[in-house]
Amino acid sequence: MPTTQEASLKLIANLDSMRGTDLLVCSPIDGTELARLRMDSAQDIERKIADSVSAFEVWRDVPAPRRGELVRLLGEKLRAHKEELARLVTLECGKIIEEGRGEVQEMIDICDFAVGLSRQLYGLTIQSERADHVMQENWLPLGPVGIISAFNFPVAVWAWNACLALVCGDSCLWKPSEKTPLTALACQSLLDEVCRDFDEAPKGLSQVILGGFEQGNQLVEDSRVPLISATGSTRMGRAVGPKVAARFGRSLLELGGNNAIIVTESADLDIAIPSILFGSVGTAGQRCTSTRRVIVHETLVDEVFAKLASAFRQIGESKVGDPLEPTTLVGPLIDEQAFLGMEHALEAIKPDAVEIIGGGRTLQSQFPGGYYVRPALVRLNQQSKVIHEETFAPITYVIPYRDLVEAMQIHNEVPQGLSSAIMTTDIRDAETFKRYSDCGIANVNIGTSGAEIGGAFGGEKETGGGRESGSDSWKAYMRRQTSTTYFGRKKPALAQGIHFDV
């Protein structure tokens, strides 16, 4: 029987050719080495960008439904290898296997979405003010798309971008997180297999660039890459956004969140509590959409805190563990730095906290090389500046409010604006919340995390303003052209009735 590691690494056809010394990849499960790889040099990246430009020049002329066919075949490949890829996701980023499977399913879903889209890249016809004129809006392929991704969704975020970019006629260059390069190489191998049997797919259509921020930065600064889609921390976005803007490139930023759930007086707690729990501790609090703040009506705050405290204690005692085990609900943090970040945040909130449940490292003797923590629940009397920053770990703050105006003020006070939710059975509160939440996502009786691919995903303020995945997000991967055609026989008229007679 091959081990999970062996079976999953087999997905990477040419792994040996990528071995090296400068990129050490360890599993957060127990710290064991998964591989040592070679980062791309500046010359490697230069060559890959040049290949991507050449690939784009071929691919953009392939009819969009044929481009969709390539993505359909990728979806089939992913279906066939779902389990091995899900296990590699778990091995490399530590999310529980159930969520690893969910992540690969999300890739399959976006493939299906993109296939349909390949026949629906609709432009407009526009009524002209002049006789015998036809106005159109055309959507044309954009160019090589640079995709920079974070460790916590190591494959789905690539698929959100790449599947849309490919049907839109673009080539792709993917710089995955330096913490999760193996899952990227596995996806690239699966796509390579599909491309090998697909005559119209040019060499270099989709490539992976291995490395850290320096390699990412080379992509960011290269004006041959018209779109940089970057997912990661607000710190990263602050560096990337201005650089892309300075060369008049386009950036699609998907950055940090600081998401809240408001629990109103009328909330059904049987619905609210499970949603808060999954949002707070799922993926060990390492989702951009994780629930960080729970803003509870003052009449319910004791009850909600007590229920959550009991669940947090139970999870901390018996549900934290090896993410490959089916009974585990909370896997490890990605690394020591993430653990130290959690410790630091808990230390900083202590002076303001009424009560803190959980927190601290666990399972150290079983997994000395893994950073497992008990999820932490912190009760506050009011929101504190300390929690304006995103801590990428399972810490949930419970804050009371008096009326919905105050709840919205607490809710919108943080600099990020990704996901938000309200738990209520009062339609007035629900609609008021939807109108005044400043986030890109506003849910009712659904938690902050676990979006479907059909909607546009992304957030406002320091979350970066980008939208990817469903709805009309595909427009970011194409360029818009307005075209006016005159088909009459008389001297053509000018717009706005201007006469220019010689």
Contact between 71 and ligand NAD (CB under 6 A)? no
Residue with tokens 């279906």: 79
Query: Of 14-22, 233-241, 317-325, 478-486, which part binds ligand NAD (CB under 6 A)?
Result: 233-241
Query: Of 29-37, 151-159, 359-367, 469-477, which part binds ligand NAD (CB under 6 A)?
Result: 151-159
Minimum distance between the CB of residue 3 and ligand NAD, rounded to whole angstroms? 26
Contact between 231 and ligand NAD (CB under 6 A)? yes
CB 305 within 8 A of CB 380: no
| Furthest CA-CA distance within the chain | 90
Paired strand residues for 262: 295, 422
Residue with tokens 């927190």: 359
Contact between 217 and ligand NAD (CB under 6 A)? yes
Minimum distance between the CB of residue 416 and ligand NAD, rounded to whole angstroms? 8
Of 4, 27, 90, 152, the residue at the interface with ligand NAD (CB under 6 A) is 152
Tell me how long the chain is. Answer: 502
Minimum distance between the CB of residue 228 and ligand NAD, rounded to whole angstroms? 8
Contact between 252 and ligand NAD (CB under 6 A)? no
CB 338 within 8 A of CB 371: yes
Of 240, 294, 308, 478, the residue at the interface with ligand NAD (CB under 6 A) is 240
Q: What amino acid occupies position 336?
A: E
For ligand NAD, give the closer residue by CB, 133 or 224.
Answer: 224
Minimum distance between the CB of residue 40 and ligand NAD, rounded to whole angstroms? 12
For ligand NAD, give the closer residue by CB, 167 or 184.
Answer: 184
Within residues 288-307, the interface with ligand NAD by CB under 6 A covers 288
Contact between 202 and ligand NAD (CB under 6 A)? no
Specify the 3-state DSSP secondary structure of 459: coil
Q: Which residues are catalytic?
A: 254, 288
Of 4, 5, 27, 177, the residue at the interface with ligand NAD (CB under 6 A) is 177
**Rounded CA gap, 51 and 205, in Å?**
8
DSSP 244-307: HHHTT-EEEEE----EEEEE-TT--HHHHHHHHHHHHHGGGG-STT-EEEEEEETTTHHHHHHH
**Rounded CA gap, 231 and 187, in Å?**
18
Query: Of 134-142, 210-218, 427-435, 478-486, which part binds ligand NAD (CB under 6 A)?
Result: 210-218
CB 453 within 8 A of CB 113: yes
Minimum distance between the CB of residue 319 and ligand NAD, rounded to whole angstroms? 23
Minimum distance between the CB of residue 230 and ligand NAD, rounded to whole angstroms? 6
Helix (H), strand (E) at residue 399? strand 395-401
Query: Closest Cα to residue 461, out of 149, 151, 234, 150?
Result: 234
User: What are the E-state strand segments in 102-168?
Assistant: 125-126, 133-141, 145-148
For ligand NAD, give the closer residue by CB, 97 or 208.
Answer: 208
- 389, exposed or middle or buried, with CB in 10 Å at 0-12, 13-18, 19+? middle
Specify the 3-state DSSP secondary structure of 193: helix
Residue with tokens 């959980």: 358
Minimum distance between the CB of residue 445 and ligand NAD, rounded to whole angstroms? 23
Minimum distance between the CB of residue 499 and ligand NAD, rounded to whole angstroms? 53
Of 178, 322, 429, 462, the residue at the interface with ligand NAD (CB under 6 A) is 178
Helix (H), strand (E) at residue 87? helix 82-93
Contact between 229 and ligand NAD (CB under 6 A)? no
Specify the 3-state DSSP secondary structure of 79: helix
Nearest 5°: phi and psi at 74? -60, -40
Within residues 374-433, the interface with ligand NAD by CB under 6 A covers 390, 392, 418
CB 376 within 8 A of CB 359: yes
For ligand NAD, give the closer residue by CB, 153 or 401.
Answer: 153
For ligand NAD, give the closer residue by CB, 160 or 312.
Answer: 160
Contact between 239 and ligand NAD (CB under 6 A)? yes
Of 94, 144, 257, 323, the residue at the interface with ligand NAD (CB under 6 A) is 257
Q: Which residues bind ligand NAD (CB under 6 A)?
A: 148-153, 175, 177-178, 212-213, 216-217, 220, 231-233, 236, 239-240, 254-257, 288, 390, 392, 418, 463
